[in-house]
Structure formats: structure tokens, C-alpha cells
Structure 1
Amino acid sequence: MLTFLSPLFLIGLASAAIPLIIHLTRSRRTKKMQFSTTRFFTDQFLRSYRMSQVKELLLLLVRMALCALFAVALAKPLLQPPGRSLLFGQSRSVVLVIDNSASMGYSEGGVTLLDRARNAARQVLDSLEQGHTASVVLAARRAGVPEVVFPELTPDLGDVRQAIDRLTATHLGTDLSGAVAVARRLLQPSKADSREIYVFSDLQATGWEFDQEKRAVKDNTLLFLVRTAPESVRNAGVTAVQYGTARPMLGVPFAVRAAVRNDGDEPRTVTARLFIDGDKDPVGERKVETAANRWQIVRFHHTFAKGGWHSGKVTIDADNLAADNERYFAFEVQDSIRVLAVNGAPSAVPRTDELFFFRTALTVGPEGESPVRVDVVNAANFESAKLNEYPLVVWANVESLPAGAVEKLEQYVDAGGNLLVFLGDHVNPEFYNRTLTGPTRLHGGLLPARLDVVVGQAASLPANPAGNPSIRPAHSVGQAGSSPHDVAFVAAVDYDHPALATFEDPKFGNLSNVSFRAFYRLEPTEGATVLMRSSAGGTSGGSPLLVEKRFGQGRTMLFASTVDRDWTNFPVRPSYLPWVYRLTSYLAQERLARLPFFLTGSRVPIPFSAGEGLPQVTVKKPDGTAGRAVLGNDPASPLEFADTTEPGVYVITEQGRESSPRLFVANLDGDESRFEPLLTSQAEAKDVFEDDSRVAFVADASRVAEASIAARRGFGLWDALLFAALTTALLEPWLANRISMRHYGPPGTVPTQAERRTGRIGRRPAGARAQPASGAASETSFS
């Protein structure tokens, strides 16, 4: 509906009659006279005269339109939205949703995005009058629901202004969709004529998580999306930290990998630094070159000299957004591990014993001490072993086990234990495939792969040993290894796996020089992951050498060859010792160490021993203050800690165990470094919110007050009308001069005979004059 804010100015429409009055009063009326000698010219000149009248009428209409446009523009015409009434004294209820997430701390010219949001929110407050109500909802992602500054709409606008002035950017992620949902609930009880929600944010796409039900606007609430995004992005951040194992081992180099992302429009070079245990000096430093809108991995290595809990962080150079320039981590360095090893081929001669190299590798430690203790049993005694005392069980060339031992092992791994299996010449593949794999077994069986045939020929076996018909001669395999008897070597390694990440750097162990005289061809089962492949024996990139799978709460790994030198030269290669350490450390880690990084604002479950009752747990926050873990809603983890708004290292202290604290870290959501917007125009807003006319996108936060008026009262047309009036004012003199030149010619010119015949004056070169036609009177007026 069209209405006018200043209808009194519509009186000015009468001014459109002024050009008409002038035209009528100045019209020439000539006396008609008939000349017999010129009568034959009359018809032609009448046609010319009528054409000139039409063009003069067009000029008159332009002049009248100019006056009318100017008068209507002064009356301020307004297109009102459907269902809205023009009430200047209408009551209003407003909820200001202000994004105070980490990305709003981005600074340009000393002004942060949050500063822009505050200034725009103040504009909305300034437009409110006495009796209007307002509230503030903060869009930073917290445990539970977004923070509501005023639980109910308040008429005390001064308090609302003070709350806005006190806002600072947090280290939390963004939850715009949740904040808008809370704002709608606040407005539901309101009886105001106009209910409005203003979202002041950089409108990151990652801050919106809504389905079709949440996206639809189901009431008459106006939603304003006020964008305060940076004009140009120049920011790099540490968005993730990964490391080789969840718990490194004492004296073994430990790999830390950090992902550095450049979200700017130009390539950047930054310096990444690794800090350990709060030291002021970094233990590692790397230059990182990143392309625009790309990320790069930087790697560090560190060796811990003592066990227990350690923490650290990776930092980069300061830039426009300080919140994402560092990322924390924490873990427990294992100073002692107990491993139960089942020896399938024991020997009185140490060097020929199946576990000789494995035990030697694990019992070699700094200064003669080892963090690993290996307890050995044979297959016959395995069923009586107390498996719950060991985080890891290792099979070495075990032929088979009784059915009761297999069920016991399944229960152990399902409850969180781990199993590492090495094959060999004593293995009974039929037992492995029937009892340890298959759909009838728990979780599809313990093994992550079925055993096919043995590729190659073991040096310690005859060509076709009895009881193992699957042995193949070496000539059936194409590519050889480092000796005439080798049939394959390590060809591919999954360096993204925590246990194998260190080997991407050859100085920590080169796996490519490990060769095999024989190995089992493996067929991975569903859900299994291949971690290493050989150079031969497979249909796609080589046969699997090392395969892993999840089994309940535990893990199982299967190595296709032997743990000793019978089928491979691996035990005498330098990479064998760190490889054994890595696998053992990875599989022996406790469940607590497998917890992922937590994001700031999230609820952190606090594990404890259920047999000892519910303990009193104190959590020391990064700023030095302390909080308490409280009862949560998850029966599996009754204790939780929710005050994780600050990034950094948190220390868990359990009453009665103050000397054995534990650590966890909270980090900023990596998506806060990304400034890709959800939408950038009104057209996109209609598309995202299903073409709802009650959603308004405001690209310029400084004009939010104007956008508010237009949405509540309508769209102002006066700017467009004033522009049309200016265009008409420029068109009128050009049109008038053109009509005059075409029909009357410049002063002092005499029409040619052709021009008299057509009634139109053409263009002539400068200085040219027309010649008078014979028998023509130049000053005669015809009618």
C-alpha cells in the first residue's frame, strides 16, 4: 500500500498547471489570410504545423512532470509492507542479538567488528521511545543455550545501553540460529504493535545451523540481519593441532602437527612456534608459507625427559584477529606400560625366540631404563592370565586358542582393551578365518582382515611345509626387495595415522628399506583401515601389511608378517624400534587420553572410577581461578565441567588425589577464522529464509535506523522521485532546444526550398546560409 509521510506537500501538485497556463497564455493566434498565389503551399505547411504542435505538447508534459515529481518527492511517498499500519506512536518490543564471538574481535583501523555492532545497536536504542521494551541476547556459543542478558523484555533502556557498552569479544564460537530462536521466545509474550529482532554480526555461514522448521518465520516478527563483516580479510590462524599418539612415550621423539590457515586474499608467510609446559622460550620454530584461502601443515618434534602430564601450545605471529593465533594441547607422557605378549614360538636360544627382537626393542630406554614392561605367556597359559591388568595384548605367531580364550579376549577388547597380532609360520589360517573373523562373531570378529595365502617363501621353511599349504614360491611375485630372496618391501604408509605420523620425516625412521621374504596376503574386513602396504601381492597399490579396526571400545591391529627375522629384515632396521614403540604407545593408551580436544564453551565430562563413589573434583581454569565439576545429564559421565569460556589448559584435581592432577584443553572453534558470509544481499536473504518479506538484510550497519523505518513503515520512494525530477530537469532544456532548432532554425537563417516543402530545418555547415526561393515571402505567416 502506498502512503505519504508528508501529505501536505501534495498541494504542490497544483504547480504542474503552471507550465500549462503559461503555454495557453502565450499561444500565438494569427489572422488567417488567403493568397491565391500561395494556396498550393497550405496543405504541406498545415501538416508541418500540426507536427510542431505535438512536439510542443510533449515539451509541455515534461515541464508539468518536473513540477509534479518534485511535489510528490517532498510528500515522501512510502510503500508499506503487508499487514503494517502507519502508526508513528506504535509500541515496539525489540531484541538485540549481538554476536560477541571470537571473530567479532577482528580489527580494522583500530575498530573491531564488535565496535561496529555496538554502534549499530545504539542506533536502534536511540529510535526507541519511553514505554518501548528491549532485551539483549549474546550469540557466542556456550554450553546449553546462548546467554540472555535480560531474561524478560525491559522498559529500562538505560540498562540495556549499559549492557551493550560493557560487551567484549569472547573466545567462543558462533550460534546465531540458537540466539535468534531465544529472541523469538522472548518476544512471544509481547503485545506490542511491532516486534523486532536485530542481529548484529559478521554473519559467518558456520554460525547458522537451522533446518527447514527453524528457518521459517511463523509470526509477524521483523528480523533484521545487520552485517558488520570486515571490508577485506587479512588473517591467519592455527585451526588444529594433531600429534603422533594421544600419549607419547618417555624418551621417544614425539610429533606435533599444526594446521595454519590463511583466510586472507593474499599469500602470507608466518612464523609458527612450539611451546612446552609454559616455558617462555619456544622449543621449535618454523616458517610457514600459505597461499590465499589455503592451509598448510607445520611439523614439530620433541622428546620428553620425564613422564606424567604435559601441556603446550603452537602460536603464530599476531595479526588482525588475535584469538586464533594460538592453539593448546595436553597429554600424559607414559613412563610405564605393561604389555602381555603371547609367544607362539618360544625358544631356549634367545636370538631364535619369537619375541626376542620385540622385547629387546621395548626394553631399551634412556639410561638403561624402559617405560615398557613385557610379560610373556605361552598359548596354553593365556586363558588364565588377568587381562584387565594390561592395556595391550600382543600375539606373536600363535597357532590357535581354545574357544574359551577367544571369548575372553573378545570381552577384553570390547571393554576397551587392545590387541596386536603378528603372523608367522605357526599360524593356522583356517582357525584365524573361522574363529577370529566372520559375521557370526562379535563385531564381525577380532581380526581386521582375513588371511589369504602366503606370498613368498620363508627362509626357515621347506618349499611346501606340511600343515601350511598356502605357502607360495617367490617366483610368483613380480617385484623383488633388497636381496634375491625378498619378494616385497614397504611401499605405502598412512602418515596421517597417529602411530605412523613420525615416519614421514626419514630422520626418525625410514620404512621404505624394510623388505619381506614372505607375508600373508590380507583381505580387510568391513570397517578396517589399511595403514601400510607392500610393493607386491595386491590388486590395488600393493597387499596390506598393517590393518586396524575398532572393536567395541578397543582396537585391534594385524601385521601381515613376523615380529622376528624369519620372514623380514624389519627387526634389524633402525626404524623397527620407533615403529614398535609407536604401535605399543598408540594401542596402550588409556581411554582418557583418547578424548578429543574440547571447544571453548562446551561441557567437558570428567571421568572417574565408579567403584570409588562420586568424588569432589576441582578444576583450575587458565586464568588461575577454580571451579567445581557438577552433576550432568549423561549417565555414562555423571560429572561435567561447563565453565570453559577461556582457551587454554585446565587442571583437574580430585579430592584425595591432589598429587596426581590431570589436564584437558579448550580451544577456539577453528571456524571462527573463516569469514565466508551466509548471505551478502537482500536477494540472498530471501532465498535463505524462503522469500519471507519480514526478513531484511542491512549491508551497511551505519544505516540500520533507516532500514528499520523502511521495514516498519514501508519503503521510501522519495530518493527515486528526486532523481527522476533531476533527470527531467536536465532533459527539458535539451528537448526544448532540439524542437526549436528542428522547426524554426537558428536566428537569421532562411529555409531552403526543400525545407519549406518538408517543414523541417536541417543542419548546415557553419557560415552557410540558405538562398531564398523565388516567389516566396520570407516574413509571411501561414495558418
Structure 2
Amino acid sequence: MDISLIHAGLAAGAAMAAVPVILHLFMKQPPKRVIFPALRLIRERQKRSRKTMKIKNWLLLLARMALIALMALALARPRLFSQTSIGSDQEVPTAVGLVFDTSLSMGYKPRDKTLLDEAKQQANDILKKMPDSSQVFVIDSAEPGAPPPLSPAAARKRVDGIVLRPANRPLNLAVGQAYASVADCDRPRHEVYVLTDMARSSWDRDRAIEGLDKVKKVKSGIATYLVRMAPKDIHNVAVTEASPSVSVATQGEPVEIRAKIRSQGPATTRMVQFDLDGKPRHKEQVKLAADGETELKFLTPKLDPAIPIHKGVVRLSGAPDPLEFDDSRFFTFKVQPAMKVLIISDRENDAQFVADALDPDPTSLPAGTPRPSRVETIRTPKFDAQTGDTLKNYSTVFLLNVKEVSETGWSRLNAFVREGGGLVIGLGEYCNPENYNLPVASQLIPGSLTKKESPKETSFGKIADLTHPLFRSYPRQLGEMLSQIPIYHYWGITPPKGSRTLLSYSNGAPALVERSFQGKQTGRVLLWTTPLSRVTDSRLKTAWNEFALPVGENWSFFLLMKQTIPYLAGTSSEQLNYEVGQDAVLPVDPTRRFKNYVMQSEDGKTTERLNPPVDSLVIVTPPIGQWTVTASNSEGEKALMGFSVNPPGSEMSYTAMEASDFDALFGKKGYNLATDAESLKREVTMSRVGFEIFPWLMGLILILVTLENLLANKFHRESAPRGAVGVPA
């Protein structure tokens, strides 16, 4: 904190503080002569009196000196300030950066205007006070690039055109952009105003503000004003999630839709409506506790096979909401026929556990339970006897504890995988390693078999990649479940180059290994080195593990089998629901060569022609809404695709930045915080002109005048000496 003087010349009047000293030295009162018989006693009293008066006179002298010095200083009008002062004059040319937070949360409407409208009004009030010689840089937080310098009049027009933007960059970058523009301007005063609701979603708290080095290079500094536009208390209800249980559903089966409704503020009641394909399907009233959240589940009707793409929305209605963008959320999913799975085994028991996990008996399931897979089983001799391309109708083939496969059988499996199919091999007691290590088999299997291993105490151990589609649904819980499963025997293998171990045993040996084959469609082989079946009596030599336990005892086997089919079929990674700012990637069928792709909004008002894709259709940052993509060719053949785009989920949970957050970003003295127009006015005055000390000096002068008067009266008051004897005149 520094100090400046409005009338610096008058400060020289402080030198008049020496006047009392001069008067004291040249106007000493001559001592009075006292004739009294008891001369000795008089002289003793006179010495004591002079000593006392000397001390008292110094106090009075200091009071008078301070009084004169303070009067001179008060006339000079001192002020405290934190930036180099240029004066309070509004005619000083200024380089101004106006940073607008245009994120969707600025659409909050506490009164009849949104926060962005109030920010624009605040900016116009600032610009009206700027001289025409000022330069203004208007920065939209969603727009990268250096802004052009504008006059205050041109800047007002630019401000009026600012709108909310769904996809924004962190304000750290926008402020840095303002610093760079303002610092390079030759105007004598430099200021940056950040107009924001201060939501944490608009800032990157782990990233420093850019351009702070430029602030230090400006001699007069750059005053930064953070203006909070949002009210202290936020009241809002939002649909934070609405998603189908699967991205690719099975035709003729219902799909479960999960939705989450969150309230910020006091308890409230809202109406929630679920629509599918433009038709209302469900509506219910929901009570929300203060700052509470509730989860809802809806079940679609059985899906019509004639409709390949289904679009839905969960929306709020009822009481008016100050923030509209989060009152609805879209979702899209596609349907396809149930995937056919073939299980090849030598014995029925080896196929039973996988078949029950993938396609259990419908009579044992609750009504409406979807059946995404249809399982067929076949014995190995019958499979070997087949010829031709009989596997093309299956999405996945399981080879479970098979002793030997003919070379023809291995060749057919090889061709199936290289055409994009999925193969799962479960090794076991009866496998012949010589057959599995044949050249035709080694081209396919992700590991050469060595010998049977029988460790004393082993279980499943480390999951190599928790984000892998097989494990990412419940990675922590799945890891805990797998670690509790005893493994008695497994096959030792040597994985070939290009394969990867997805799951190990607790001793580090490979348990699950994957091998991929690139082509028009990616083919994959998964190799389990222990059986995908279970023998009840663990004392038997055919008991290799306790993996295939009932769901109630350990659901890891059931979940991994369920995840395997969509992963190998390539549908588990298919994404149809995005947040704004993401690129939408839609897979295309490589066997169907479409030339024309047209993207259309749900209301039909927006239509865009897309370039034909090479491998997949990439749509760069599509807007919020539900979109349909129609592919066609010259023969009139068509295919429908679709996807949904929603607002960012981070903006649906409003949490305000704290002063400590800004201290870390700007430094404790690197910004001025304002919460309304009055506080902004005070902060600007303090930064431009400083803190007026004159009223405090006048108060201190009043105190000193009073003190000087009291001291003068006390020190020079005549009083009769104690014990004096009066002498008659």
C-alpha cells in the first residue's frame, strides 16, 4: 500500500511545525524576582517547579508541533492506494478488457433478466464513463483469438451482441487473453473486468491464470476486477442424468431408462415427464429435499423392430425455474436383433455355465427381462464335420475345454475372427496342448500352451486396465470379487507378440489374454487359462476353480460373460449420447457403401450434408439437441443413425469459487472482488484514486486541539503553594 498527495506543495507546510520551538526559544518569560525572608526554602521550591514545568512544557510543545504538521498534511489531501495513481478524473484514456463469462449457467434468471443481461448492462455502465480516446477489448469466454481494439461506442454494440454459448473454455484463458491485449496498449491506465457468476465449472483451478507475467511488465499495473453477477443463494432443479441402460438394445425387449433429479436450495416439488419417440410415456410428481437428489427409473415398452433408432427426453415441469437449460436431458439408443452365440464343447457341463449366464431360461426370469443373446450349443465332432461359412450368423463363438479341434475347424475359426468375429477360448483339464500349438491354431490363439500349473494358494489378481470395456462398469467391486475366487489349476502360456494380458493371477501368471486382428471390422480372441465352468466338489482333479459361482455368491463371472458379448461384437464402445463440445463418432457398416449423409435436427429446421466417411462418421462438435443422420446411395438404399447432445454435466451442479481459489489463481493482491454495482464503484475508486485520509486527519486534529487546550490550562494554571502563609497587603 502506497501514498499519494493531491496537493503535494501544501505538504511543505509541515515545516511550520518548527514555529512553536522558535517561539519557545525567543519568547521565554523572564523569571520573576521574589523577595522573601525564607530565601532558602523559596529557592528549593523554585528548582522543583522548574523541573516539573520543563517536562510539561515539552509535552505542550510536542502537541502544538503535531497540530501544525497535521494541518499542513490535511491540506495536502493524502490518499492511500494500491496502484500507481493517475487521478480520479474520468477523462484519463484507459485500456479496458471486458471478459464475459458466456457459459450456460449465466442464463440464470433471478429476476426479469438473466445474469448475462445484467453483466452486459454493467459493462455498458462502465463504458459510458470512459473517454472516447479509450480502447476497449471485448472477450467472449467461448471465442479464442485476440480481440480487436474498439472505441467505447463500438464496444457497446459488440457487448449487446454477446449471447450464451454451450461450449466454453476456462476463464483462465479468457483473462489471459485480456491481459495480453491490454498490456500492449499505450493508454496510461489499464483495467480488466471479469463479469461472471463465479461458478467453479467456468474456471480451471489447477491451471494458473495466463498473462500474469504481462501484468508485471506494465509500469502502472493492470487493475483486475472480478464482478460476481450471481446472487448469494442459488435455487435450481436440474435433470443431471437421463440415459438408457444400454446403447444398443435388443429388438422386442424393453429398455430401462435411469434419470437423476437434483435440487439446489430449499425443498420443492416438481413434475417429471418421460417421452420416447415424441410420445409421452410416463409422468410423476417428485418431492425433493433441500439440496437433495433422487433417482427415477422408467421402462420403455417393447421396442418395435421396424424402428432402428429411438430418441427420448426426461424433462421437468411445474414451478418456474430460474435456470432453463438443465430442465431437460436427451438420450438416444439403437436396436438390433438379439446376438447369436455359439458354444462348442466336448461335454455338456463345460457349456452349461456360460449358456446360463448369457441366455438363461426365460421362465426363470422376471417378466420383461431383456434377452440380448441367443445361445446355441454344439459338440466338437459335429462342429468339425461342418463345412462352409456356417459361423457368419454368430457374433461370438466360445470354445470351452475342448480336447482337440481339426485343422479345418481351426481354419474356419481363423477366418471368422479375421472377418470381425469374436472368439472366447476357455482352457481346461482335457485340452491337448499339441493341438492348440499347431501352426494354424497359433495364428489365432493369444498364447502357446506350456504345462498345467497347480499352485498352492492362488486367486485372480491384478486387472491390467480398469478402463477396458470388460471391467469398466464396476472396476473396484469387480477387482474385490475376483480376488476372493480360489484358483486350483491353470495352463501356463507364452503370449505371442501383439497380445496383451488383461487379467493376471495373484502370482503374476496370465489369466485372461487378448489378441486383436485388424480388418474391415476388428476381430478379437480372448483366452482364459482356467475353465469357464465349475466342478462342485473341489477335491476332484477336474475342479480347477470356483469362478462360475451363482450370482448371489459372486457375480463376477456373470458380469464378465455379459460384458464379453457386446465387447466382441463391437457394440459396447458405441456411443450415441454426447455432451456439447465433444465430436460425435458414428460407426458405419463397411459392407454398405453409402455416398450421401444428411444430418437433420429433431424439429427439421436444421439440415447439414456431411462428407462420406472413411472408417467412421465424425461430426465435429454438434449443437445441443437430438439428431438423425440418413445415409443413402444411388440405388435408393438407406440407413438411419442418430445421436443426442446435452449441455455439460459440470454446469448442472453450481458451486461458487471461494476467495482462496482466486488467491491461488491471481495472488492475494492481484485482483479486486466486487459483488454488486456499489462494491464495484468502491473498488474502482480505491484502485484509481486511493483511500481518502483527510477525514481521519481532521478528526486527529480536533483531538490534538482539545488536548493542547487542556495541557495549556493545566500547566499554566496559578495555584497557591501548599502550606503558604498569606501576607496582608
Q: TM-score, normalised by structure 2?
A: 0.69
Question: Where do residues 250-265 of structure 1 align in structure 2 (5 Å cutoff)?
Answer: 250=251, 252=253, 254-258=255-259
Report Cα offsets for 1:378-414 as digits up to 9, x if no partner: 4647997576764433333334557998799789779
1:728 pairs with one of 700, 718, 729? 700
Report Cα offsets for 1:462-482 as digits up to 9, x if no partner: xxxxxx97799xxx999xxxx
Aligned residue in 2 for 1:594: 574
Report Cα offsets for 1:447-497 as digits up to 9, x if no partner: 9xx999xxxxxxxxxxxxxxx97799xxx999xxxxxxxxx9xxxxxx999
Question: Where do residues 427-466 of structure 1 align in structure 2 (5 Å cutoff)?
Answer: 427=431, 446=446
1:649 pairs with one of 611, 623, 626? 626
Give the direction of change, closer, same or farther, for the CA distance of 1:332–1:612 in structure 2 (3 Å limit).
closer
Give the direction of change, closer, same or farther, for the CA distance of 1:469–1:19 in structure 2 (3 Å limit).
closer
Structure-2 separation of matches of 1:324 and 1:19: 73
Structure-2 separation of matches of 1:441 and 1:351: 25
Q: Is the 8 A contact 2:13 2:69 kept in 1?
A: no
Aligned residue in 2 for 1:716: 689
1:153 pairs with one of 119, 132, 149? 149
Report Cα offsets for 1:101-156 as digits up to 9, x if no partner: 0121234455543244223322331233224443433213xxxx5488xx63333x
Q: Is the 8 A contact 1:255 1:300 kept in 2?
A: yes
Give the direction of change, closer, same or farther, for the CA distance of 1:224–1:397 in structure 2 (3 Å limit).
same
Structure-2 separation of matches of 1:54 and 1:368: 101
Give the direction of change, closer, same or farther, for the CA distance of 1:446–1:628 in structure 2 (3 Å limit).
farther
Aligned residue in 1 for 2:50: 46
1:68 pairs with one of 72, 90, 94? 72
Aligned residue in 1 for 2:540: none
Letter in 1 for 2:61: L
Give the Å deviation of 1:650: 1.8
2:195 pairs with one of 197, 200, 205? 200
Segments of structure 2 that go 5 or more residues without pairing to the other structure are 460-465, 475-480, 537-542
Question: Where do residues 680-759 of structure 1 align in structure 2 (5 Å cutoff)?
Answer: 680=659, 687-689=664-666, 696-700=671-675, 702=677, 704=680, 707=683, 716-719=689-692, 721-722=693-694, 724-725=696-697, 727-729=699-701, 731-732=703-704, 735-736=707-708, 739=711
Give the Å deviation of 1:571: 11
Give the Å deviation of 1:31: 5.6
Give the Å deviation of 1:676: 4.7
Q: Is the 8 A contact 2:236 2:322 kept in 1?
A: yes
Give the direction of change, closer, same or farther, for the CA distance of 1:269–1:572 in structure 2 (3 Å limit).
same
1:231 match: secondary structure: coil
1:282 match: secondary structure: strand
Structure-2 separation of matches of 1:618 and 1:778: 126
Report Cα offsets for 1:282-329 as digits up to 9, x if no partner: 36776666868xxx6735252541143223344567654333343322
Q: Is the 8 A contact 1:127 1:705 kept in 2?
A: no
Give the Å deviation of 1:197: 4.3
1:664 match: secondary structure: strand
Structure-2 separation of matches of 1:496 and 1:610: 27
Give the direction of change, closer, same or farther, for the CA distance of 1:354–1:224 in structure 2 (3 Å limit).
closer
Report Cα offsets for 1:515-540 as digits up to 9, x if no partner: 99998679999987779xxxxx9899
Segments of structure 1 that go 5 or more residues without pairing to the other structure are 453-467, 479-487, 489-494, 504-511, 532-536, 752-771
Give the Å deviation of 1:41: 0.6
Question: Where do residues 508-519 of structure 1 align in structure 2 (5 Å cutoff)?
Answer: none
1:106 pairs with one of 81, 105, 108? 108
1:394 match: secondary structure: strand
1:594 match: secondary structure: coil
1:138 aligns with 2:165: no
Give the direction of change, closer, same or farther, for the CA distance of 1:214–1:623 in structure 2 (3 Å limit).
farther
Give the direction of change, closer, same or farther, for the CA distance of 1:101–1:17 in structure 2 (3 Å limit).
same
What is the aligned residue count? 676
Letter in 2 for 1:716: V
1:670 aligns with 2:619: no
Question: Where do residues 321-340 of structure 1 align in structure 2 (5 Å cutoff)?
Answer: 321-339=323-341
Give the Å deviation of 1:334: 2.9
1:775 aligns with 2:720: no
1:217 match: secondary structure: helix
C-alpha RMSD over aligned residues: 6.2
Structure-1 separation of matches of 2:411 and 2:222: 63
Aligned residue in 2 for 1:177: 172
Q: Is the 8 A contact 2:137 2:155 kept in 1?
A: yes
Give the Å deviation of 1:652: 1.7
Aligned residue in 1 for 2:311: 311
Q: Give the percent of matched residue pairs that are identical in Structure 1 and Structure 2.
A: 19
Give the direction of change, closer, same or farther, for the CA distance of 1:775–1:708 in structure 2 (3 Å limit).
closer
Report Cα offsets for 1:552-591 as digits up to 9, x if no partner: 8677767865569988998999999997994476336545
2:599 match: secondary structure: strand
Give the Å deviation of 1:502: 11
Aligned residue in 1 for 2:640: 661
1:302 aligns with 2:279: no
1:621 aligns with 2:593: no
Give the Å deviation of 1:99: 0.8
Report Cα offsets for 1:319-347 as digits up to 9, x if no partner: 543333433221113334343x2412267
Letter in 2 for 1:153: P
Letter in 2 for 1:627: T
Report Cα offsets for 1:22-45 as digits up to 9, x if no partner: 9969x9947612342422111111
Give the Å deviation of 1:247: 1.8
Aligned residue in 2 for 1:277: 277
Give the direction of change, closer, same or farther, for the CA distance of 1:60–1:195 in structure 2 (3 Å limit).
closer
2:619 match: secondary structure: strand
1:232 aligns with 2:233: yes
Give the Å deviation of 1:599: 1.9
Aligned residue in 2 for 1:32: 32
Q: Is the 8 A contact 2:257 2:300 kept in 1?
A: no
1:298 match: secondary structure: strand
Give the direction of change, closer, same or farther, for the CA distance of 1:521–1:563 in structure 2 (3 Å limit).
closer
Structure-2 separation of matches of 1:225 and 1:469: 72
1:129 match: secondary structure: coil
Structure with higher RCO (Cα < 8 A, 6+ apart): 1
Give the Å deviation of 1:717: 3.5
Letter in 1 for 2:673: V
Q: Is the 8 A contact 1:253 1:303 kept in 2?
A: yes
1:661 match: secondary structure: strand
Structure-2 separation of matches of 1:95 and 1:415: 59
Structure-2 separation of matches of 1:434 and 1:53: 117
Structure-2 separation of matches of 1:93 and 1:359: 68
Q: TM-score, normalised by structure 1?
A: 0.65
Give the Å deviation of 1:281: 4.8
2:311 match: secondary structure: strand
Structure-2 separation of matches of 1:94 and 1:127: 12
Give the direction of change, closer, same or farther, for the CA distance of 1:199–1:431 in structure 2 (3 Å limit).
farther
Give the direction of change, closer, same or farther, for the CA distance of 1:13–1:441 in structure 2 (3 Å limit).
farther
Letter in 2 for 1:139: S
Aligned residue in 1 for 2:478: none
Structure-1 separation of matches of 2:254 and 2:535: 25
Give the direction of change, closer, same or farther, for the CA distance of 1:22–1:224 in structure 2 (3 Å limit).
same
Structure-1 separation of matches of 2:50 and 2:663: 59
2:295 match: secondary structure: strand
Aligned residue in 2 for 1:457: none
Letter in 2 for 1:125: L
Letter in 2 for 1:198: Y
Letter in 2 for 1:717: G
Aligned residue in 2 for 1:126: 128
Aligned residue in 2 for 1:247: 248
1:217 aligns with 2:194: no
